[in-house]
Amino acid sequence: MIYLNYTNLNAETQERLMQTSKADVERQFGNSLKAYALKHHLNYQTVLEEEAIRHLNSYTYVFNI
């Protein structure tokens, strides 16, 4: 679960969430994403970022108001 303050969803918080998501995706799927990027001649960082954005939907958020 990720606890967020509803009044503090600024760019810095969103960037922190994205970095956390990237780290999770890279830890779980890094090798397979690298192989996919090489096979399809894609930029690994772009593939990682797209997967991190999709991965954000799998988190459970708790908003403190």
pLDDT surpasses 60 at 5: no
Whether residue 8 has pLDDT greater than 80: no
- Side chain identity at residue 18, one-letter code: M
Pick 2 or 52 by higher pLDDT.
Answer: 52
Distance CA 37, CA 45 (A): 9
Model pLDDT for residues 16-64, shown as the tens digit of each residue: 888 988 999 999 999 999 999 999 999 999 999 999 988 887 877 677 6
7: which DSSP letter? T
19, with CB counted inside 10 A (0-12, 13-18, 19+), is: exposed
Give the integer Cα–Cα distance in Å for 21 and 15.
10
